[in-house]
Structure 1
Amino acid sequence: MKYECVHGDINQQTEIEAIVNAANAKLQTGGGVAGAIHRAAGPELEKATRSLAPIKPGEAVITEAFDLPNKYVIHCLGPVYGSDEPSDKLLADCYKNALDLTEKHKVESIAFPAISTGAFGYPFEEATDLAIKTVKAHVEKLSHLKMIRFVLFSDSDFAYYQQALNN
């Protein structure tokens, strides 16, 4: 398994088959990652998600990527820190369920943002450590996935993720 950490925009991961959307429960255009993905994918993405919503914290669903350079968007609803409990289990479930969808759809590469760390208030370092630990443990159960990329937008988030991924 190849792991990467890149500094950039999740919408610009041209060689990645599936990107992960840090979605809201209604799977609609929102702020942050969800808003950026919906704007880049075009209005067809929101139409495609209507029948799949609402989802609960920890759940993941998959759609086409439409105007994005990817084949799929995997929509995960991360927990709101301090509200959706147990937040660590729900956040881990986001990553596991997204990975399980890659197996089901024979996806070979996936890119994750830092789920729940923005408006949902999950402490960044704690979320990062949990994400990496969960992904590395769960990926052993998969046969199709060959590459996992973590995409971070800010310099400080990228630096922390890169260090955590290499430990």
Structure 2
Amino acid sequence: MFIEKQTYNTAVIEMNDSIKIKQTDITELDVDAVVNAANRGLHEGSGVCGAIFDAAGSAELGEACSKIGGCPTGSAVITPGFNLKAKYIIHAVGPIWNGGDEGEEELLYGAYAQSLKLAVENGCESIAFPLISSGIYGYPKEEAWKIAVRACRDFIKEEPIEITFAVLSDRSKIMGEEIISSL
């Protein structure tokens, strides 16, 4: 698989000491765990998932995911980071958007909460997320941001961990900033 390397503006928007937004490639971040926007079968996909598999080493990561076998929507599992700077990859399965009447909000919140729980259980002090389910799964970006921020803020009230949201576009970064400042 060929993935074009891009250079991103790495401006950091700090929301508090624990939540940040960086306009960057998630695979480049030096954090304890990166979150993969995974599918239920934990198979290599496209978008963020494909980039993480490519950077980590597709064969090794694919084998580790095959041993796990899958993950239900709204949950997460963990593997080594292999060739990433991150020690771990947390594979979070967000919901496919079906109009909002099929429990999507609870499932998306659960994917974030379970990812954070796994990170802390494995000694992580920092974690990087993409905006789960907002790509090919079709979750409306503004709603996805609201749920992501709420889940992270709820978690860090109880457990300290540095959270970074890695986004690629100015539009997503600006939307995230607006959501965080409004909540």
The reply on whether 1:21 has 2:36 as its aligned counterpart is yes
Q: The residue matched to 1:110 in structure 2 has which SS?
A: strand
Shift of 1:150: 0.6
Shift of 1:141: 2.5
8 Å contact kept, 1:99–1:139: no
* Higher-Rg member (1/2): 2
Q: Identical aligned pairs, as a percentage?
A: 37
Cα shift readout 1:46-95 (whole Å, capped 9, x = no counterpart): 11111212211111000100011110000000000007920000000000
Normalising by structure 2, what TM-score? 0.86
Whole-Å separation in 2 of the counterparts to 1:54 and 1:3: 29
Other-structure match for 2:136: 119
The reply on whether 1:7 has 2:23 as its aligned counterpart is yes
- Taking the TM superposition and a 5 Å limit, the aligned residue runs for 1:31-50 are 31-42=46-57, 43-50=59-66
8 Å contact kept, 1:79–1:85: no
Shift of 1:154: 1.3
Q: Which has the higher contact order (CA 8 A, sep 6+)?
A: 1
The reply on whether 1:88 has 2:105 as its aligned counterpart is yes
Q: The residue matched to 1:82 in structure 2 has which SS?
A: coil
Cα shift readout 1:110-156 (whole Å, capped 9, x = no counterpart): 000000000000000001011101110122222xx431001111110
Residue 36 of structure 1 aligns with an amino acid whose one-letter code is A
Whole-Å separation in 1 of the counterparts to 2:116 and 2:163: 10
Other-structure match for 1:54: 70
Other-structure match for 1:72: 88
The reply on whether 1:152 has 2:167 as its aligned counterpart is yes
Other-structure match for 1:136: 153
Cα shift readout 1:18-41 (whole Å, capped 9, x = no counterpart): 000000111111111100000000
Other-structure match for 2:79: 63
8 Å contact kept, 2:120–2:161: no
Other-structure match for 2:45: 30
- Stretches of structure 2 that go unaligned for 5 or more consecutive residues are 1-16
Normalising by structure 1, what TM-score? 0.93
The reply on whether 1:110 has 2:156 as its aligned counterpart is no
Q: The residue matched to 2:89 in structure 1 has which SS?
A: strand
